[in-house]
Structure 1
Amino acid sequence: MRQTDNTNPVVIDCHDCMFRDTAACVDCVVTFLCREDRGAPVVVDLAEVRAMRLLDSAGLVPPLRHRSASGAI
C-alpha cells in the first residue's frame, strides 16, 4: 500500500504484494475487488482508507494484508 501524502489516493497493487499467490489471497478484499481485472491495482482514496481502518478497529472486517514486497509503504 502506497500513500504519498494525505491528499493522494492509496494504491494497492497485487503485483507488488509480498503475499501474492499465497493462501492469503483467498479472502483478501483486493483479490475480491480485482477479480474481473486482475492486472489493475485498486485505488482507494483517503476517506475510504479511513473507513476501512474504522471497520477493522471495530472488528467488522479483517485487517488489510497487503504488504509491499519492495518494503515501501
Structure 2
Amino acid sequence: MDIVHVDCNRCVARGSGCSDCVISVLLGIPEGEVTRGVELEGDERAALAVLAESGLLPPLRLVQAVSPPEPESFLWAEGGFAE
C-alpha cells in the first residue's frame, strides 16, 4: 500500500499554506519544529480527498522541495549544457 509521510518541517508551503491545509485543520497549525510527522495510507488519503472535494475539509497542501540534479549528470553540448 502506498503511504505518504507528511513532514511539516520539510513542506515548502509551510507558513503561508498552513491555514488552508487539512493537516492544520485536523492537528492545528504547527509552530516551531514539529517532532512527529503524519503517515497517510491510501484509504485515509481517499477519505480526505472525498471530504475535500465536498468542501468539508481543505486539501493536503504538502509541497516538498525537489533536489536539483548533480552538475556531473549534465553533458556539455554545443551551445551549453544538455542532459
Give yes or no for TM over 0.5.
yes
Matched, 1:9 2:30: no
Distance apart, 1:16 and its partner CA:
1.6
Q: Pick from 31, 38, 56: which aligns with 2:52?
A: 56
After TM superposition, the structure 1 stretch with the greater mean CA deviation from structure 2, 22-31 or 49-58, is 22-31
Q: What is the TM-score of this pair, normalised by structure 1?
A: 0.65
Figure out how many residues of one structure are paired with residues of the other and give that number.
63
CA distance in structure 1 between the partners assigned to 2:11 and 2:35 by the alignment:
13
After TM superposition, the structure 1 stretch with the greater mean CA deviation from structure 2, 54-63 or 24-33, is 24-33
Greater RCO (CA < 8 Å, at least 6 residues apart): 1
Q: Which runs of 5+ in 2 are unaligned?
A: 68-83
CA distance in structure 2 between the partners assigned to 1:13 and 1:70 by the alignment:
14
Identical-residue share of aligned pairs (%): 33
Structure with the largest fraction of strand: 2
CA distance in structure 1 between the partners assigned to 2:54 and 2:21 by the alignment:
18
CA distance in structure 1 between the partners assigned to 2:22 and 2:49 by the alignment:
13
Amino acid in the other structure paired with 2:17: A
Please identify runs of 4+ aligned residues in structure 1 that moved more than 2 A.
23-35
Q: What is the TM-score of this pair, normalised by structure 2?
A: 0.59
Q: Which has the larger radius of gyration?
A: 2
Give RMSD over aligned pairs: 2.4
Distance apart, 1:27 and its partner CA:
5.1
CA distance in structure 1 between the partners assigned to 2:9 and 2:37 by the alignment:
8
